[in-house]
Amino acid sequence: MRELSAYNHDEIADLRARDEFFWLDLDTPDEATLEAISDQLGWHPLAVQDTREWHQRPKLDDYEDYLFLVVKMLLLTERKEIAIEQVSLVLGRNYVISFQENGSDVFQPVRERLRAGKGRLRPSESDYLLYALVDAIVDQYFAVLELMGERLEAVQQTVVDDPKPETLNDIHALKRQLLFLRRAVWPLRDVLNNLSRSDCRFLHESTKVFFRDVYDHVVQIVDTIETLREMVAASLDIYLSSVSYRLNAVMRVLTVITTIFMPLSFIASIYGMNFEYMPELKSRWGYPLTLAIMALVGVGMLVLFRKKRWL
């Protein structure tokens, strides 16, 4: 088995002549290279075109002589952001060719296991290599989901402690990311289900069991995404209701203050009137009595509010 990282017509012709299995890993190849590979390996024009369109859904096309597979790769950038990249994989009788969008090193572990020749990675079977590559991609998903889970927990904390419009933006950012994740993972489920049941002649029964295993992982990922989505939706509910609860608290304070001071001010304003004939004003006890009445009204209101549980 030969591992190639650049396209060379003669080398491949030679390998094919000797019927030796090879893996060619290309990073955003130019059009000329693509045409050359396609010509040499006899691919359908549509397959070639698909490797050039970077916004496809995950899919599996069976062209009899080769399988064409589009998978989405989820990556964590250094700033802990989630990047979605596309990988096209072509499986032929004695080759696997992978096209990456931006050469990130997600296939590095596979490459190392291949070189060490250890583990279950037997170099003689192209379908098993395909499995190893897909498995490496799907393994990345778990890391991304874990990050999402952590972010959700952080948001759930803020939502209860201190809901701000920024929290709302965080919730919606999470929601949008989960939406994109789901879009990337959901069709992969069918792809892997088809792979594990495919009657393509390059896929051995013994390898299909492994594709079934990756399928189980993807189902689990889909499940987790749905759970996260429901929990994000719940966070939004909590956000909205804690904002409305706070509004309630604010309004209650406003009402309590207004209800206490309005009658008091009214009483004061009565004795601020300048009528000539107001007997209370002449009285020795007018002022202290008025103050006493005010105190009574104020305390009475407070007691009422405590009874109504507004304080």
Residue with tokens 């939706």: 233
Q: DSSP secondary-structure letter at 94? A: S
Region near a copy of itself per CB under 8 A, out of 13-21, 30-38, 90-98, 226-234: 226-234
Q: What is the dihedral of CA 191, 193, 199, 205, to 10 degrees?
A: 120
**Single residue of 13, 83, 154, 251 touching a copy of itself by CB under 8 A:** 251
Could you tell me which stretch among 75-83, 132-140, 193-201, 287-295 binds a copy of itself (CB under 8 A)?
A: 287-295
Give, to the nearest 10 degrees, the angle between helix 45-52 and helix 31-41: 150
Cα 113 from chain centre? 30
Site membership for a copy of itself, residue 259 (CB under 8 A): yes
Query: Among 4, 36, 147, 231, which residue sits at the site for a copy of itself (rule: CB under 8 A)?
Result: 231
- Using the minimum distance from each CB to a copy of itself, give the nearer residue, 56 or 94: 56
| Choice from 80, 118, 277, 307 touching a copy of itself (CB under 8 A) | 277
Q: Which tokens belong to 128?
A: 């098993």
Report the alpha-carbon distance of residue 42 to residue 286 in Å, rounded: 109
With vertex at residue 88, the alpha carbon angle to CA 135 and CA 60, rounded to the nearest 5 degrees, is 80
Residue closer to a copy of itself, measured from CB, 27 or 280 = 280
**With binding defined as CB under 8 A, does residue 169 bind a copy of itself?**
yes
Long-range contacts of 107-111 (CB under 8 A, 24+ apart): 107/25, 107/133, 107/136, 109/136, 110/136, 111/3
Question: Does position 143 bind a copy of itself by CB under 8 A?
Answer: no
Q: How far is CA 42 from CA 34, 37, 151, 199, 289, in A?
A: 12, 8, 47, 21, 106
Please give the residues from 105 up to 134 whose contact with a copy of itself meets the rule CB under 8 A: 120
Give the one residue of 18, 80, 276, 307 binding a copy of itself; rule: CB under 8 A.
276
Nearer to a copy of itself, 129 or 178 (CB): 178
31-39, 79-87, 132-140, 242-250 -> range binding a copy of itself (CB under 8 A): 242-250
Smallest separation (angstroms) from a copy of itself to the CB of 114: 18
In whole angstroms, the minimum distance from the beta carbon of 296 to a copy of itself comes to 15
CA distance 92 to 22: 10
Is 263 a binding residue for a copy of itself by CB under 8 A? The answer is yes
The Cα 26–Cα 245 span in angstroms is 56
User: Which 8-state DSSP code applies to residue 247?
Assistant: H
Under the criterion CB under 8 A, does residue 147 sit at the interface with a copy of itself?
no
Which of 25, 170 has the CB closer to a copy of itself? 170
From 246, 293, 295, 311, residue interacting with a copy of itself (rule: CB under 8 A): 246
Residue 290 makes contact with a copy of itself by CB under 8 A: yes
Q: Please give the structure tokens belonging to residue 86.
A: 């596309």
H/E segment holding residue 256: helix 205-270
Of 9, 93, 115, 176, the residue at the interface with a copy of itself (CB under 8 A) is 176
Where does this chain touch a copy of itself (CB under 8 A) — which range of 19-27, 110-118, 192-200, 259-267?
Answer: 259-267
Nearest C-alpha neighbor of 121 from the set 260, 9, 23? 23
